[in-house]
Amino acid sequence: MNRKIVFPTNEHQGLLSKRDAHFGRANFYTVVELSPEGKTVDVLVVKNEGHKSSGCGGAVENICILGADALIVSGIGGSPLQGFARKGLAVYHDNISVSVEQSLNAFLANQLTLMQPDMSCSHH
């Protein structure tokens, strides 16, 4: 079964897109579909519709609607992190990689850690 990994980005450049530091404010979500062997099957860039009136819960739904299996972020607030946990969506931390491609390679090499509540941004 294929997996979909979502990266918040500010560009519409596929794997070369620069990652955004915070998922809720990103201009786009770059969605990478991986085969069971970890090969890239498809790359889709989707405009981030933002929080709208539903706050962080809307941002969580925006990611879940994409069929995501994992989200890779540099930062995330405690409330959306809990929302993803309730939905069963894994959130990984990467504050080093600049591009989607670099972050994807780190993910595939098992170099990223799962976000823990104490790693979330305190202003959310």
User: Strand pairing partners for 40?
Assistant: 34
Of the pLDDT bands very low, low, confident and very high (cuts 50, 70, 90), residue 53 is: very low
How many other C-beta atoms are found inside a 10 Å radius of the C-beta of residue 94? 19
Would you state the structure tokens that stand for residue 109, as one six-digit string?
């090499």
Q: Is the pTM of this model over 0.85?
A: yes
CB–CB of 67/81 below 8 Å? Answer: no
Would you state the structure tokens that stand for residue 63, as one six-digit string?
């990611």
Mean pLDDT of 34-38: 96
Mean pLDDT of 55-59: 57
* Structural domains of the chain ordered from first start: 3-118 (3.30.420.130)
CA distance 21 to 97: 10
At 75 the three-state DSSP class reads: strand
Query: Could you tell me what percent of the chain has a pLDDT over 70?
Result: 90
Is the pLDDT assigned to residue 123 strictly greater than 60?
no
